[in-house]
A and B are shown apart, each in its own frame.
Chain A
Amino acid sequence: MYGGDETGGLVLDIGSSTAKVGFAGEETPKGVFPSIGICSSLGGGGEGSEDVEMVDAGSNKTGKRTIYVGHSNAFFRRDHGEVVGAMASEGGAVENWDVLENVYDHALKSVLRVTPSEHPLLVAEPPATSRADSEKNVEMLFEKFDAPAVFLAKQPVLASFSTGRATSLVVDMGHSGVTCTAVHDGYALTKSVGRSPVGGRALNELMLTWLDTASGARVRPRHLFRRTQTDSGGWAVEDLAYPKTTESFNHYHRMLVAQDFKESVIQVSGTAWDYGEAGAASAGGTTETMGGISVANIPSVNSELPDGTEVGIGAERYRLGECYFTPRLATGFLPDSSAKLPWHDSALLEGLAEPKGLASLILEAVGRCDVDVRKELYGGVLLCGGGSTCGGLKERLERELADNAPPGAKVKVIAAQPPERRHGTWIGGSILASLGSFQQMWMSKAEYQEHGASLVKRKCP
């Protein structure tokens, strides 16, 4: 039996944007890399290709396509290299199992540099994962990687553990959307889950639309320009052309530029945005006010794109943050009425015309729980995920929840410091996997061989 902190366990949290991987018992993940693969079909990359054949650790040939995974591969432009995510664009379910397999492979063999058969694996999964997906995941970990033991933990449970709580309402603001889950006594209440498609990716898309249309700047992906210093001390930017680059690769990198820009400017205002009589229909209209100030008078801040272009952004940086609370304000980013919002056909809307705001998402999730635990949940609203690190969000959320919660409920929003908040799920996994009392919970290889993958839902409730 294991004792103390030394279990040799590995913790893997594969999100829809990045994969966080590391050793149990450590404070931060050892490696964080994009959970995407650059796939080139063997036929496409053949004739006349400028591509260099790389036989490195990050690549793996499965079936017809070669999949390159890892940080350096995500930034290495390849002819006909399509960007394919391991996870679905919303909801966090696995979409491409062969990409996921390569992500695991890269994490274990290239990032952590371990022999997978020597380390038990704790893998975080979204709260609404279907039984079939969990079983397939476990099967892959045992069959392909020969893991000695596996445990699938629900992401919100781990996030809750990272702050030392067994009961809390976890608000995971991820890349593909926001997920609210009640966690009670270390168990995720799966029927309480509330999801919204307004996540980091949607905001990146809005930011990109704004940069393309309203700012007057050109968003150039990093591989399509070269910036050099001239003799006079200035900078010259030269466009590069690689016609064989795929649209998905260009878009992925344009989104990364928009994401960087978003992260440096996004702000949540302390008071609700008053969108006036005309509502969101008057995009950029003058009736909108924020804290009594007309949005047209909000001072702008500057941020720089990778090619050196300075872009000033004023009210729109607040509008972006406001999308979490009032998603309909996002229509203000659209160039014309025919353009669609990033979430217009999202399955997470469940037939609604527009996504729910953050506050009502949380209140409804609490409302779906047992009356006896609601009070505890109101007192422990836990923020995690990269989206929650935007400035002013915690204070604003606390205020909105206090205004809308039932009388008598004491609302408290808990948020760790930004670096821990961003990786809250992984840190919780690191804590759980190093606990002495957890060691009897693993699903071992022997159990897998006796009972099959269906055991996972019983061992890992």
Chain B
Amino acid sequence: MSWQSYVDDHLIATGTVSQAAICDHEGNIWANSPGFTPSSAEVKMMVGGFNTSGSLQASGIPCSGVKYMFVRGDEKELFGRKGSSAVAVAMCNSCVLIGTCAENIQPGQLTTTVFKLADYLRESGI
């Protein structure tokens, strides 16, 4: 299964994720939804934030040119908000999963979808 089908079939198709991307820890994009391109600098910031989320609470979570307010995070998951949209970032062994949602979606549904896929990827050793 290609990475693009993870984005299309397992994230966007659920209707609970508006935009999504999968990239490696350096920020090279493996798959993404149209128009959603987190830069490698942004991804590196997120990756750095998993261990020391202190760095993100002052700067927020920048993602594809949009700055989200850092709400909470631990070593595996980050969550941020901007207005009524939200971003969820999950760390897997070799990749980073990023999903955002627009106003019409409950952020709780976004995190459920993104982090569940991340759990699956981690279990599969990816």
Contacts and interface: CB of A to CB of B under 8 A. Distances in A.
A370 B58 contact: yes
A42 interface: no
Contacts of A371: 58
Contacts of A458: 108, 111-112, 115-116
A461 B70 contact: no
Interface in B85-119: 106-108, 111-112, 115-116
A370 B57 contact: yes
A190 B72 contact: yes
A460 B74 CA distance: 15
Contacts of B58: 368-371
A371 B87 CA distance: 19
Interface string A359-385: 000000000111111000000000000
Given A191-B70, A372-B69, A461-B71, A185 B81 contact: yes
Interface string B43-57: 000000000011001
Contact of A189 (B54, B57, B84, B116): B57
Nearest to A460: B108
B60 to A, nearest CB: 5
Contact of A191 (B57, B107, B111, B116): B57
Given A370-B69, A372-B60, A187 B81 contact: yes
Given A184-B71, A455-B112, A461 B107 contact: yes
Please tell me the size bucket of the interface on A: 20 to 34
Contacts of B125: none
A192 B53 CA distance: 11
B108 A461 contact: yes
Interface residues of B, number: 23
Contacts of A372: 60, 69
Nearest to B107: A461
Q: Is the interface of A mostly helix, strand, loop or mixed?
A: mixed
A225 B58 CA distance: 58
A433 to B, nearest CB: 15
Contacts of B60: 370, 372
Contacts of A227: none
A441 interface: yes
Contacts of B83: 185
Nearest to B74: A131
A459 interface: yes
Given A441-B106, A460-B108, A369 B57 contact: yes
A189 B53 CA distance: 12
Given A459-B112, A461-B108, A187 B57 contact: no
Contacts of B81: 184-185, 187
A459 B60 CA distance: 22
B23 to A, nearest CB: 22
Contacts of B70: 189, 191, 370
A128 to B, nearest CB: 11
10 interchain residue pairs of minimum CB distance: A458-B111, A191-B57, A187-B71, A190-B72, A458-B112, A459-B108, A370-B60, A370-B69, A185-B81, A458-B115
6 contacts: A190-B71, A191-B70, A440-B106, A451-B112, A458-B115, A461-B71
Given A131-B74, A187-B72, 19 more contacts: A184-B81, A185-B69, A187-B81, A188-B72, A189-B72, A190-B71, A191-B53, A191-B54, A191-B73, A370-B57, A370-B58, A370-B70, A372-B69, A451-B112, A455-B112, A458-B108, A458-B112, A459-B108, A461-B111
Interface of B: 53-54, 57-60, 69-74, 79, 81, 83-84, 106-108, 111-112, 115-116
